[in-house]
Homo-oligomer: A and B are copies of this chain.
């Protein structure tokens, strides 16, 4: 009748099994852990009792007594588990650690420092062996305590400000520079830049790459062409419309994130300018190659980033104590059409 939290029926313990099998509980322990040194006859009896009672060893008690702090669990905290980039990275991590008997706890931070820390704390409380973290842009000094408490930490996509950790990321600056140079080579001089909120590491790196190429080409940096901060594809769409309907519109657009690329595509369509204004996006997007024009992108390898990070984490857990460092996973410019549109003199 009542709806109070169901008190689960007590699970059978090692002693229940022992009694049923008519042996000491230590014998059961031996069988359950495959320690050997038990007569086949008893093994059979114990196995039977285990099956009949549906006995399962309590891993908490086991670990407690054994004293090895390993839970064979790691955590993954990404900005958004539903974003294709993060989802691919996430899956790659899971796939790498699974054969080692390691399971993965997952959470999204939404680029919010509080959410991030809460997720991390929830994982740390459960004594994860390590965490793969996509850190927000805030100071991460608090991670020192987490490390001291025993968690290995690998950051992905960006370094953690104020904390020295292994890091696996894309060559953001170089990739952005190549994309920008690609547009400059076609003659574009007014290239808009759309970036994440300005405290984001990747946004800044990509912006830096954009500026690198402008400098190389002696094109003056124009602040009015840079828009940092639109969140999600809808905000990006509005921003692009604003840029293109403004007084001095760009002839090309560089969107530094996948959702922004989608927003830009929508805006260009809406204004009927998709064949006139060039577009290059950072991070590939599903079906980008099927659009008209197909979208030129700087493709990242989320799978490679995730795989690399996971392997590195496992190595650290195995005791590798070589100096911490950063691994850069290369990006690839994929020309598909939208990035090869020549500048149009509009009036």
Contacts and interface: CB of A to CB of B under 8 A. Distances in A.
A73 to B, nearest CB: 7
Interface in A61-100: 61, 63-64, 68-69, 71, 73, 80-84, 87-88, 90-91, 94-95, 98
A103 interface: yes
Nearest to A90: B81
Nearest to A302: B82
A170 to B, nearest CB: 18
A218 interface: no
Interface residues of A, number: 67
A122 B199 CA distance: 39
Interface in A51-66: 54, 56, 58-61, 63-64
Interface string A261-282: 0100110010000000000000
A108 to B, nearest CB: 6
A179 to B, nearest CB: 20
A258 to B, nearest CB: 9
A106 B124 CA distance: 17
A286 interface: yes
A196 B150 CA distance: 45
A5 B317 contact: yes
A87 B94 contact: no
Contact of A105 (B105, B119, B290): B105
A82 B87 contact: yes
A227 interface: no
A125 interface: yes
Contacts of A5: 317-319
A291 interface: yes
A288 interface: yes
A119 B98 CA distance: 9
Interface in A25-66: 54, 56, 58-61, 63-64
Contacts of A101: 122
A292 interface: yes
A291 B293 CA distance: 10
A248 interface: no
A3 interface: yes
B4 A319 contact: yes
Contact of A103 (B81, B108, B126): B126
Contacts of A122: 98, 101, 103
A99 to B, nearest CB: 10
A249 to B, nearest CB: 21
Contacts of A104: 105-107
A243 interface: no
A113 to B, nearest CB: 16
| 5 closest A-B pairs by CB | A60-B60, A87-B87, A82-B91, A6-B319, A81-B91
16 contacts: A2-B319, A4-B319, A6-B318, A9-B150, A54-B148, A58-B127, A73-B126, A81-B87, A81-B90, A82-B87, A82-B88, A83-B87, A103-B123, A104-B107, A266-B290, A286-B286
Interface of A: 2-9, 11, 54, 56, 58-61, 63-64, 68-69, 71, 73, 80-84, 87-88, 90-91, 94-95, 98, 101, 103-108, 119, 122-127, 145, 148-150, 262, 265-266, 269, 285-288, 290-292, 317-321
